[in-house]
Amino acid sequence: MSSSNAGQSAGQLETRGIEPVPEAECNGHPLQLFWVWFAANISILGLPLGATLVAFRGLAIWQAIIVAILGAAGSFAVVGIISIAGRRGRAPSLTLSRAIFGVRGNIGPTLVSLMSRLGWETVNTTTAAFVLLSLCSILFGSPVEAKSAPVLTLVFIAIFVLLTLSVSGLGHATLLVIQKWATYVFGALNILVGGFLCATIDWSAVFNATPAPLSAMIIGIGTMAAGTGIGWANAGADMSRYQHRSVKAVRLVASAAFGAGIPLVLLITLGGLLSVGNNDLASATDPIIAIRDMLPTWMAVPYLITAFGGLLLSNNLSVYSAGLTTLTLGLKVKRVYAVVVDIVAIFAGSIYFMLIADSFYGPFITFISLLAVPITAWVGIFVVDLIHRHYYSPKDLLDVSPSSAYWYNGGIEWRAFGAWALAIVLGFSFTTIGTTEQNVWFRGFLSDSWLGHNGLGWIVTFLVAGGIYFVLGGARDRRAAMTENAHA
């Protein structure tokens, strides 16, 4: 996985894995990260998020805008905070997490992170294949369904994963260039499609809408945060590890908050506008088709191309991050092979859900949302630790033997791991898990409380995880030793 020449030019293979980046190669700047996060969130699937705020929460459009800013842009500020650790430690997020949880204790958060990444990548891949099938339906003049055209479905899945592999496999430098220039193309298409969607808005209903109570806005903020930035938090340091040492922390936070926040706020607002007096988008089982049906037939083709491009840009970053997470689990292969392993997994998953399973979105997205609880607990502990930790030992991050400074007690830092586990248990106590109100898989004993009923258990998870870890003093106890090592 190591190389003296990591190939940091666009179009060349990045050969570095999870080992910390040498200072001589750290020449990145925050604008690069701005484009990375912008591209990853330009998907038109942001529209249904806004639709739920208006249709189900009853927010007026000005309230939906405030909720989008605080929930989406605010949660990506957390991603920016995690990015600070990448600039300090020069390694991916879950590799740096070894310093907090121990080289063995970190396996739990790493597995959860990898499952989440693979889950969302399967959602992206499956949705993109449905987009291409929808394009064929328009071109052929008759519906083309996955199970009635299995060969075509396989081809479309392969196209999407190969396009993803071509960018994610090459690595960091290529990703920076592709995400930036593709943003211009698909951003312009989004503006074009958005303009036509605006023609369907009932503007009189928009201006006459009655505001919802403050409690509905609070719930909406939690929903937006859980559906946007929280899911990306564990990828923050993956991209920032190449940033120059002189880059200020506030600029890293701003690059994520504004980079992701601008497209998300615009798309969430448009989704809210489309749903004033019309619940079709918010309740659609297939939002791609629901949005397509709002457009003139001739406009559906550029819309579907836009949707495909947005999904691809999001998948590029997710698969790159998943490859690094796979290596953190201890897989002894080169980074590009770890990416291939992830690609094979999502290819197989997409085939199953498109050609074999009877349903996909409900059960699968419920499963992915379930993983938000342990991820949020990890974020709470990581952020508290970051406040006190200013140094990560490069040698010990890669040493998974008892000689590592991050071996702690049997390979586990029990204060961090214990806080994580306890927060997960409490978080699930507030959580109801199921595809519908009738099909409930699990119901926590506090799920009928105000917090649980309104889906805010993840906030409890965040506060409990970070709070317990802070009280136990794990981060503070390590600060002096790590600072001394930095100057040794």
> Please, are residues 219 and 57 in contact by the beta-carbon 8 Å criterion?
yes
What is the residue extent of each domain of the chain? 21-478
Choice among 128-132, 177-181, 283-287, 291-295 with the minimum mean pLDDT: 283-287
User: What CATH architecture does domain 21-478 belong to?
Assistant: Orthogonal Bundle (1.10)
CA distance 125 to 6: 29
**Does residue 243 register a pLDDT over 80?**
yes
What is the DSSP secondary-structure string of 305-358?
HHHHHHHHHHHHHHHHHHHHHHHHTT--S-HHHHHHHHHHHHHHHHHIIIII-S
Confidence of residue 295 (pLDDT cuts 50, 70, 90): confident
CA distance 190 to 171: 26
Name the nearest CA neighbour of 320 among 165, 180, 111. 165
Residue 166 CB coordination number (10 Å): 12
**Does residue 196 register a pLDDT over 70?**
yes
Confidence of residue 486 (pLDDT cuts 50, 70, 90): very low
**Residues whose CB falls within 8 Å of the CB of residue 481, separated by 6 or more in sequence, listed in order:** 405
Q: Which residue has the higher pLDDT, 343 or 356?
A: 343
* pLDDT number for residue 123: 86
pLDDT averaged over every residue in the chain? 88
Which letter does DSSP use for residue 478 in this model?
Answer: H
* pLDDT number for residue 2: 38
* pLDDT number for residue 43: 83
What is the DSSP secondary-structure string of 19-86?
SPPPGGG--B-HHHHHHHHHHHT--TTHHHHHHHHHHTT---HHHHHHHHIIIIIHHHHHHHHHHHHH
Residue 83 CB coordination number (10 Å): 30
In the chain the first and final C-alpha atoms are separated, in Å, by: 27
Q: Which residue has the higher pLDDT, 271 or 142?
A: 271
Confidence of residue 434 (pLDDT cuts 50, 70, 90): low
Q: Tabulate helix, strand, coil % of the chain (nearest 5).
A: 70, 0, 25
3-class DSSP assignment, residue 454: coil
* pLDDT number for residue 483: 47
Confidence of residue 44 (pLDDT cuts 50, 70, 90): confident
CA distance 90 to 195: 42
CA distance 9 to 20: 18
H or E stretch including 228?
Answer: none
Q: Which residue has the higher pLDDT, 5 or 9?
A: 9
* pLDDT number for residue 360: 62
Average pLDDT (121-139) is: 90
* pLDDT number for residue 418: 97
> Please, are residues 100 and 273 in contact by the beta-carbon 8 Å criterion?
no
> Please, are residues 1 and 19 in contact by the beta-carbon 8 Å criterion?
yes
Confidence of residue 45 (pLDDT cuts 50, 70, 90): confident
Share of residues in the chain with pLDDT > 70 (%): 91
Q: Which of 79-93, 185-199, 204-218 has the highest mean pLDDT?
A: 79-93
> Please, are residues 129 and 153 in contact by the beta-carbon 8 Å criterion?
yes
Average pLDDT (180-203) is: 89
What is the DSSP secondary-structure string of 273-302?
HHTTT--HHHH-S-HHHHHHTTS-HHHHHH
In the numeric block, which tokens belong to residue 411? 């390979």
* pLDDT number for residue 476: 60
H or E stretch including 209?
Answer: none
**Does residue 466 register a pLDDT over 70?**
yes
> Please, are residues 99 and 406 in contact by the beta-carbon 8 Å criterion?
yes
* pLDDT number for residue 6: 44
Confidence of residue 81 (pLDDT cuts 50, 70, 90): very high
Choice among 76-90, 408-422, 428-442, 473-487 with the minimum mean pLDDT: 473-487
CA distance 400 to 101: 12
Choice among 33-37, 62-66, 287-291, 302-306 with the minimum mean pLDDT: 287-291
Q: Which residue has the higher pLDDT, 269 or 440?
A: 269
Choice among 80-89, 91-100, 335-344, 363-372 with the minimum mean pLDDT: 363-372
Q: Which residue has the higher pLDDT, 280 or 480?
A: 280
CA distance 49 to 224: 7
